[in-house]
Every structure is written in C-alpha cells, then in structure tokens.
Amino acid sequence: MPRQTHLFLTLSRAGWGEASFGLYLAEQLRRRNENVLFLRHAGNEHLFAGTPFENHPIGDHIGTLIWPLIKECARENNIASVVLCDSWTTDGFLRRCKVDGAVLFELGVPVIGVDTWDNVSRADPIDIFGTERKAASDWVRRVAGLLPCPIVRPSNRAGVCRFLNSPVSLAKRVRAHVRDGWGLRPTDSVILFCTASWQQTTYNDADGDRCAVTFPALLAQYASELGPDVHFVHVGPAPLEPLQRIGGRYKWLPPLGNKFDLALGAVDLLVSANASATTVNKAIASQIPVLILENSCRASALDEAIEWLGNRATPQVIEWLTTALPIFPFRLWPIGLYKFITPILHENPYADAAESVEWLDRQKVIDRTRALLFSVSIRAELQQRQHEYCCRIQHLPTAAESFDSLLVSQLCAA
C-alpha cells in the first residue's frame, strides 16, 4: 500500500498545546506507516527535536509567501490531506499573513482542523483581555473538526477523539532524588506552577499587560500563607519576581523539555492558571491533584470588586486590587477566554477531574490548596474522579481513528 503523506500546519508562536496534539496524532499515523510533514512555527523547534518528522520552520515574517509555500509542499509531496493543528490559531496566523485561509480548499485534498475548544461550529465570539472579538473567519467552519478530549466533552460526535497524555509515574527513589534536589525535607510538600512564554510577555494591551504583571503578586501573597513546609516550584521562561518573597521555598526552573515529567511526577499538587493547559491534561492522566485558578469578576473600580466579593473580601485582596484594576474574567491567565471556554466545561467531566477556585476568594484559594495538599481523603476523592475521567476517555476513538472517519467523510462529500 503506498504511503500517504499528510501536511500538518502548526503555526502559532507559542502553540505548545497545538504542536503537542499534532505530534500526538502524527505519531499514531507514523506507526501505521503514513508520512507526516510539518510546517511549524520557528519558535517550536524544541518540541520537534528528536522526533522522526520532517519539519520546516516558518517565521512570523513570512507574510503572503506562506500560501505558495504550502502549495509547493502539497504538490511536491503529493499530500493526502492538510491538518490544521489548531483551526482557530491557523486562521489567526493566515490573517496576520494577509492570506484568506479559504485558499486551502484549492489544494483539492481534505482539510481537517483541530478544534481545541469546540468553538468553530458555534462561531461564538472570543473574550480576550475583557473584550469580545470575532473568533474565527467563516472559512474555518467548512473545515472538518477533530475534537480532542480533553478538553472537549466526551461524546460520540464525529471528530471527538481521546487525547490523554501518557501518565507520569516515578520510581520512589527517583521522586525522592528530584525532591532532594529541590532541598525538600521528607515532610515538606511541593506545588508546581507552570507558565508559558505567552503568559510572561507583553501584548500591547493595557488591561492584558496589567493582568500579566499583577497576577504573580497575589499568587505570592497566597503562597506565603501556606506555611513553612510548602514549597513552590515554578517552571517557566523567567522567574516570577514577587514569588521571591517566600525565599528558598520558591524555586524557578527554566523550561525542562523532556525532563518536565520528572518535575511533574515529583510534586504533590499542580496549580494552574490555564484551564486547558496540556500540563493539566498530563497531571489528570497521572492522578496528580490539580487546582485551577480562574476569575469571573469584571470590575473597573474598587467598589465594584468589593461588591462582587461580598463577605469574601479581605484586606490583602483589596490592597492588591488597588494595583490590578480594572480586572476582567479569565480561564487562561492573562488572556481571558472565560466566556469562550464556559460552554465547553458545561456538563464536562473534565471539570470534575480538576478543582477550580475563584482567584479573588483568598480564603478559598488557601483552604483548597491546603486541602489538596494535606487531606488524604480529599486528595483521594479527586484522584478517584481523575481515574474515572481517564477510564471514560479511554473508550473514545483514538486521534487516528477519528482522523480516518473525517477523511472518509470529506472524500465522500467531495
């Protein structure tokens, strides 16, 4: 049987999640002897190092040349399909390049797009930095959607597929070695908090930039309340300066590449400010308790925020708010996406596999963190829900199986 070649586009600058899913699907196709060729953003090089896939870096400056390049790759490799590793971000990239993505259909092969947040068919607007914007161009709705679960709700809809990362499980002595390296005593606990480069950058948006800058200060305040035996390991592109206030209990590690699993497997709790992070997916698969920090409060002035908080208001949060207002809701700090993601989490067992807490509810953040660190029964209950979630996902088609179904339906439609 001749080997088919599929062209995968993973074009966002900081698209760790989309590249991860692209590689996940590509590996499944490779195992059955199909070729995958990637056009990837130049910034994703580290994710492709050591993978068996031919990949070509694309810089932000490529502009309209992206289309002839795609066309040439398609022609030279006689491709069987084009896969957008995320439909929405591919659309964004092409728009920035001044290319109408509808040209992809001119290639005459099925175009399949990963619909990470199950939003393409809904065409809902997207809330970014508190402002609603059009989510995607109309052409994206013509793309057959591959719906990875998590974070999409598990169901028998066409395109739904499982995307559960391999669980991390460290041998006791390896776990102990990593924790010793962090300077922990056997009785200490450790929280992992991860940031991506898009969370530690500037956006040329005053509200977004303020959200990015002020968040760590409140995080540091919460961390300082957790007691001398709780350590905070942060993996990200740069240290979060306000966390230095907890002294040696704060440890910053630059991105760990293939050693990330060792860090994840060595911690007691993952705290995340990104509800759909791949790290959350991995922690759930590994039955490591997860606490997601999210904010539903929109406030321009202090009295609005205090009214929203009601009896949950505390002097510490009020003081912080004076530096942080106006604030907007977020499920992906600091971008927002609160309203955008809400429908996906509705009746979605994913929401049970990780705990969420309102960011401004100081007492609740501290109490839930403590409970997830120290209460054997609360940890066990969450781990049981994570286990049940993973079992449910296991019954879904693989990414390659759903991909095949979409390919067939596209070919039939053609």
Partner 1 sequence: MRSLSVHLTDLCNSRCSFCVVGSPLYVKDTIDVDQVRAFLLQNANKGFDSVNLHGGEATLHPQFLQILDLIMELGYPEVHLQTNGIRMADRDFAHAMRARGVTLFIVSLHGDSAELHDSQTGSPGGFNKTIAGITNVRSLGATVRTNTVITRQNTERLSATALLACNIGVGHLNFSNLHPVGSATFSFDCVVPRMTSIREHLYPAIELSLAEGRLVTLEGFPYCVVPEYVHLHLNEISRQIKMLMRGNVIADYDVFMNTSCRVLGPPCATCGMSDKCGGVYPEYSERFGWGEFHALR
Site string (140-179) toward partner 1, x via CB under 8 A: -------------------------------x-xx--xx-
Give the angle 7-74-11 at the CA atoms, nearest 5°: 45
Q: Which two tokens stand for residue 63?
A: 């502009």
CB of 177 to partner 1, least distance (A): 4
Q: Which of 182, 203, 308, 374 binds partner 1 (CB under 8 A)?
A: 182
CB of 119 to partner 1, least distance (A): 37
Site string (228-267) toward partner 1, x via CB under 8 A: --------------------x--x-xx-x--x--xx--x-
Contact 152, 344 (CB under 8 A): yes
Q: Does 346 bind partner 1 (CB under 8 A)?
A: no
Count of residues binding partner 1 (CB under 8 A)?
18
- Per the listing, tokens 């509705």 go with 346
Q: Which two tokens stand for residue 338?
A: 């609160």
- Per the listing, tokens 């013509």 go with 142
CB of 259 to partner 1, least distance (A): 6
CB of 248 to partner 1, least distance (A): 8
Nearest residue to 61 via CA among 107, 11, 104: 11
Q: Which two tokens stand for residue 61?
A: 């400056």
Give whichever of 173 and 346 is closer to partner 1, judged by the CB atom.
173
Q: CA 137 to CA 110: how far, in whole Å?
A: 18
CB of 340 to partner 1, least distance (A): 35
CB of 137 to partner 1, least distance (A): 39
Where b means 16+ CB within 10 Å and e means fewer, 124-148 reads bebbbbbeeeebbbebbeebbbbbb
Number of H helices, E strands in the chain: 15, 17
Q: What is the 3-state secondary structure (H, E, C) of 189-203?
A: EEEEEECCHHHCCCC
Give whichever of 227 and 254 is closer to partner 1, judged by the CB atom.
254
Q: CA 65 to CA 40: how far, in whole Å?
A: 14
CB of 47 to partner 1, least distance (A): 18
Q: Which stretch binds partner 1 (CB under 8 A): 58-66, 181-189, 201-209, 304-312?
A: 181-189
- The site for partner 1 (CB under 8 A) is made up of 171, 173-174, 177-178, 180-183, 248, 251, 253-254, 256, 259, 262-263, 266
